[in-house]
Amino acid sequence: MLNGPVQDGLDWPRIISKEESRQWSLKMTEKGIFLELANDLWACGGGGGVVEDEERIRELEVANAQHAEQIKNLQGWQQKQNGSLSRIDERLHSLERMIMATLAAALSSVVINLLAKK
C-alpha cells in the first residue's frame, strides 16, 4: 500500500506493511474518516478525478450522517430497554421479599405449633 503526505508528512510515497496499514487505519478511525479517505485518494493517484472524488466524499458524508442517526436511535432504544430491565428487576426483588416473608411466616407457624404441642 502506498501512503503519502497526508499520513506522515513525507513528499513521496513509500511502501508500508499490512500491519502498519491496519494500525494506521485504526488511528485514523479514531480521528475521522475524511483523513483516511484523503490518504486513500492520494495513494491511488487521486481516484477517478475531482468530480468523482467529491461525489464519493458526499456519499461518505451521507453514510456518516445515517450512521450517526442510527447510533442515536440505538442509544435511545438501549436507554428504554435499560429502564424496562430496571422495572423488572424491582418487581423480582419485590416478589423475592414476598416469598421470603411467606417462608418466614410458615416456618414461624411450624415452630409455634411444635412448641405448643410440648
Place of cell 461518505: 60
- Map residue 47 onto helix, strand or coil: coil
The model's pLDDT over 27-65, given as tens digits with 9 standing for 90+, comes to 666 655 556 566 666 665 544 556 678 888 889 999 999
| pLDDT tens per residue, range 73-116 | 999 999 999 999 999 999 999 999 999 999 999 999 999 999 99
Q: Give the global pTM.
A: 0.41
CB 78: neighbour CB atoms within 10 A? Answer: 10
34 close to 54: Cβ distance less than 8 angstroms: no
The ranges assigned to domains in the chain are 1-47, 49-118
Vertex 37, ends 36 and 43: CA angle to 5°? 90
